[in-house]
Amino acid sequence: MLAVVLRGSEIGLADGRRCWLGTLDEVATSTERLVLWSAAVTRLLPLRPRQVWDLAAVHKVLYGGRRDDPAAVWAAVHDRPAPARSDDFALLDSTLAAVEPYTTPVRSDGSLHPDAWRFAAVEELAALALEVQAQQQAALLELPDPRPVPTGPHLRLVTAWAESAAALLCTELEADGLPFDRAAGTDLVGRLIQADDRATRDAPVLALFRTDDVDLRNPASVREALLRRGIEVPDTRSWRLEAFRTAHPVVDALLAWRKAERVATTYGYDWIAAHVGADDRLRGEWSAADGGAGRMTASAGLHSLPAELRSVIAAEPGHVLVRADLGQVEPRVLAAVSGDRGFAQAAAQDDLYTPVAAMLGVDRPTAKVAVLAAMYGQTSGAAGQALKQMEQTYPTALAFLRAAEEAGRVGTDVRTHGGRLVPVGSGGVGRFARNAVVQGAAAELFKAWAAAVRNGLGRGRIVLCLHDELLLHVPVEESEDAVRLLRSALESTAAHWASGSGVRFVVDVAVVQRWSEAKG
DNA sequence: GATTTCACGTA
DNA sequence: CGTACGTGAAATCC
């Protein structure tokens, strides 16, 4: 493995035997896997490394938490508390400088200086990166492999590579962006917002309220105004107002206004101006493992783009979009990671809910509710009865979920199938932990799949990751290769990730011009 | 000026 | 009284 550190035009390299000042060409032509303090530095590289070990990404898998700067990463593998964060003002503090001259990155107390990357020799930082990688790898191997029948490298090492690949992919997603049909986008936004200025948009609703004395953007004001029209609601959320559509014409108008206002404020002209570049690419910031369970996140609203707007994501000339959705991924993941043989048998089918329904003796919709209720910790309503049957039919899966919930309730951290530590904290909400072991494991499977797809793609690019969906932008002549790759990558990923479980993972793939186009 | 509440889109 | 996320407007806090 080759550790790489970049600082300006300096490139520090280390291969375990020696460390030296290197050239970009050495990195580009190296056939070794690269170790990086953070894959984010690849933004500075005019190349796309095939495989990296991202120390920050692996650190978050092993130890959780939000900090992933080198000093914190270093501290964790040395089983010590993270030092105070880098502080530009502290650097100017003469007393601190007098105590700790900036000569070596590792201080006398064994900690890595928070500002080491500023002053230390880059080749030395590369050597340290290699050390940390070895320690992380050892720590990962200490976690037991959860698979009943390991068929390849230790699963937690697979996770390390996949999470690193996801971090690398994030830098590419940020750089590439989504192909955006600007003309269609501007046109569609114009139609959806009804009117360009607020007053004109508000007018029809205010007319039906028969007053100007209501602020449509103030929920309290709207609630009062509705009360004056004889509609009493605890809050004005649209699902609650839905029942009053026929009670008064203003409700219908208000709900339509809400949709228009939503587009105007969040996905309007300002949004296009802010996030679509001169090259007609829609860009956001990406994070490879955010939040409690380690899902990918994206800014610029990329993960919550309303369905009615998705037609504006369109392939460029000579290209197609290839969209691929994993089917019923969370229950399949539950079947795999819990080791429930019966549930895995259901998860061996194309449609998981049909055999579950047969086993429970209920119809398919009820079976679906029961499975989702089990995974998400729902206890009320119709789910309650179905849950009891789930307990009897799939005791192993349900015990797995209950154990996670109990751990969360008493504040014990849990680990996902891939080895990610999910800190529960003192807040200890049981449902959170119950869901995290499923959602988090699904995120790991997804990232492993995405990593395999990324490495197999030719000139195509992954342009969107959406929890269980990949969107590729590929030259027309490579579309069939891409479709085959999406399927084969899932098969090879599932083969080791869920080996011996009997669970099948399925994917819907469609070649389209626009993201909105139907699957199949 | 920063934080909280409400609301709503996606998985 | 199912989980997670990001976003924006207004109210609220300081």
A460-510 pLDDT per residue, tens: 999 999 999 999 999 999 999 999 999 999 999 999 999 999 999 999 999
The stretches of A35-102 forming alpha helices (DSSP H) are 55-63, 70-77, 88-91, 94-99
Could you give phi then psi for residue A145, rounded to 5 degrees?
A: -70, 120
Q: Which residues of A104-135 are buried (b: 16+ CB within 10 A; e: fewer)?
A: ebbbeeebbbbbbbeebbbbbbbbbbbbbbeb
Q: Is the CB of A376 under 7 A from strand C?
A: yes
Give pLDDT, residue A450. Answer: 98
Q: Which residue type, as a one-letter code, is found at position A362?
A: V
For tokens 């790489």, what's the residue? A4
- What does CATH list as the number for A331-438? 1.10.150
- What does CATH list as the number for A281-329+442-517? 3.30.70.370
- Residue A257, classed as helix, strand or coil, is helix
Give the CA-to-C1' distance from A128 to B10 in angstroms. 41
Q: Is the CB of A238 under 7 A from strand C?
A: no
Q: Is the dihedral of CA A207, A211, A213, A214 positive or negative?
A: negative
A326 nearest nt, CA–C1': B11
Give the CA-to-C1' distance from A344 to C2 in angstroms. 23
User: In whole angstroms, what is the distance from residue A263 CA to residue A256 CA?
Assistant: 11
Q: Is the CB of A7 under 7 A from strand B?
A: no
Q: CB of A470 within 8 A of CB of A450?
A: yes
**CATH superfamily assigned to domain A184-271:** Taq DNA Polymerase; Chain T, domain 4 (1.20.1060.10)
User: In whole angstroms, what is the distance from residue A39 CA to residue A286 CA?
Assistant: 12
Give pLDDT, residue A93. Answer: 52
Q: Is the dihedral of CA A355, A360, A364, A370 positive or negative?
A: negative
DSSP letters of A355-374?
A: HHHHHHTS-HHHHHHHHHHH
Q: Which residue type, as a one-letter code, is found at position A219?
A: P
Give pLDDT, residue A519. Answer: 62
A215 nearest nt, CA–C1': C10
A329 nearest nt, CA–C1': B11
Give pLDDT, residue A85. Answer: 78
Q: Is the CB of A330 under 7 A from strand B?
A: no
Nucleotides of B under 7 A from a protein CB: 6-11
Q: Which residue type, as a one-letter code, is found at position A147?
A: R
Q: CB of A487 within 8 A of CB of A442?
A: no
Give the CA-to-C1' distance from A224 to B2 in angstroms. 29
User: In whole angstroms, what is the distance from residue A470 CA to residue A453 CA?
Assistant: 9
Q: CB of A141 within 8 A of CB of A156?
A: yes
Q: Check residues 133 to 152 of chain A and report those whose beta carbon is under 7 Å from nucleic acid strand C.
A: none
Residue ranges in chain A modelled with pLDDT below 70: 86-103, 379-383, 425-427, 519-520
Question: Who contacts A507 (Cβ-Cβ below 8 Å, separation ≥6)?
Answer: A324, A325, A326, A327, A486, A487, A490
Q: Is the CB of A383 under 7 A from strand C?
A: yes
Could you tell me whether strands A506-512 and A319-327 are parallel, antiparallel, or unpaired per DSSP bridges? antiparallel
User: In whole angstroms, what is the distance from residue A86 CA to residue A286 CA?
Assistant: 23
Q: What are A6's two structure tokens?
A: 């970049």
User: In whole angstroms, what is the distance from residue A514 CA to residue A493 CA?
Assistant: 28
User: In whole angstroms, what is the distance from residue A135 CA to residue A132 CA?
Assistant: 5
A241 nearest nt, CA–C1': B7
Give pLDDT, residue A382. Answer: 67
Q: CB of A261 within 8 A of CB of A197?
A: no
A377 nearest nt, CA–C1': C2
Q: Where do the structural domains in chain A lie, given as residue ranges?
A: 2-142, 184-271, 281-329+442-517, 331-438
Q: CA end-to-end span of chain A, whole Å? A: 42
Cα atoms in the 13 Å half-sphere on the side-chain side of A65: 14
Q: CB of A121 within 8 A of CB of A102?
A: no
Q: Is the CB of A239 under 7 A from strand B?
A: yes
Give the CA-to-C1' distance from A171 to C3 in angstroms. 27
Give the CA-to-C1' distance from A290 to C5 in angstroms. 9
Q: Minimal CA–CA distance to A376: which of A418, A345, A334?
A: A334
Q: Is the CB of A235 under 7 A from strand B?
A: yes
Give the CA-to-C1' distance from A235 to C14 in angstroms. 28
- Residue A324, classed as helix, strand or coil, is strand
Q: Which residue type, as a one-letter code, is found at position A327?
A: G
Give the CA-to-C1' distance from A188 to B4 in angstroms. 33
Give pLDDT, residue A44. Answer: 86
Identify the helix (H) or strand (E) that includes residue A15: none
User: In whole angstroms, what is the distance from residue A370 CA to residue A355 CA?
Assistant: 13
A268 nearest nt, CA–C1': C8
Q: Check residues 296 to 315 of chain A and report those whose beta carbon is under 7 Å from nucleic acid strand C.
A: 297-301, 303-304
pLDDT, tens digit, 9 for 90 and up, residues A301-358 = 999 999 999 999 999 999 999 999 999 999 999 999 999 999 999 999 999 999 999 9
Rg (CA), chain A: 26
User: In whole angstroms, what is the distance from residue A401 CA to residue A299 CA?
Assistant: 31
Q: CB of A59 within 8 A of CB of A73?
A: yes
Give the closest residue to C9 (Cα–C1′).
A217
**Matching CATH topology for A184-271 and A281-329+442-517?**
no
Q: CB of A116 within 8 A of CB of A136?
A: no
